[in-house]
Amino acid sequence: MGQILDEILELPYDNLSVYPVIDSYSRDRTEEIIRQREQTGRVKCIFYQESTGVISCYLEGFRQALADGAEQIIEMDGGGSHLPAEIPQFIEKLEEGYDCVWGSRFIQGGGIRRLPVYRRILSGGGTLLANLVLGTRLKDMTSGFEAFQRSILEEMRLDRFLSKGHIYQTEMRYYCRNYHTVEVPIHYTGGKSSLTPAAVSEAFRVLFRIKKNEKNVFGG
C-alpha cells in the first residue's frame, strides 16, 4: 500500500487526493501506512466501520469524495493489481468530456500478468456472458479500474446496488451504458484472489436481476 500511495502522490497533479478505504478486515499495517501519509494533506484514511465487504468500501469512498467536493473520481485496487502510472489516461479522457472511463484488460494495449488460467477464463467468460444478458458491448465488463465525472455518481442511489462482490463492476457498467463512456487499456497484475465459489454464485444470481434494479438505483 505504501508504494502505491507514493506513486500516486508523485503524479503531476497537485489537486489529486487519495481516499484509501479500510475496514475491520484489515489486520496488517495498512492503516498505519496510510496514516503516515495523511500529513501530506492529500491522503484521507477512511475507516468504514459499517463495511460489509470490499464493494461497500468502494461505495463509501465515492460518498466521501462527493461530500468533499471532488469533481472527478477514480476507483482502483490498492493491493498492487492496478498501476498508478496508468491513472493519467483516465484523467485525460475525463478532461476530454467522457462521463465514465473503464479500464480494460482485453483491448489493444491492455493485458494480464500472473493470473491463473481459470481466472482469465472467468474474466473473459464473464464479459461475454454479461454482454449477452445485458445487451452491452464492452470488451471488459469486470475490471475494477474506472473513473467518473461527479455528476454521474450524484445521480445514483449508491445504497441500492445489488452486488456485494465481483459482479459490482458489471452492475456499474450496465447502469452507465447510456452515458458517454470509453475504455482505456490497463495492465492487471494478479495476486491473492478473493474470487470464491460463493462469489461466483452471487455473480450469477445478481446478473439476471440487474436490469430490473436499474429503476431503484436512479429512483427517488
Placement of cell 503524479 in the chain: 11
Cell numbers for 164: 456485494
Domain residues for 213?
A: 2-217
The rounded distance, in Å, linking the Cα atoms of 112 and 114 is 7
Which CATH number goes with the domain that contains 19? 3.90.550.10
Structural domains in the chain (count): 1
Is 56 in contact with 46 (CB distance < 8 Å)?
no
Q: How do 181-185 and 100-104 pair as beta strands?
A: parallel
Q: What is the mean pLDDT of each run of 10 residues along the chain (220 residues)?
A: 95 96 85 95 95 93 98 95 97 98 97 84 90 97 96 97 92 98 95 69 93 92
E-assigned strand segments in the chain: 21-22, 46-47, 72-75, 100-104, 111-113, 146-149, 181-185, 187-189
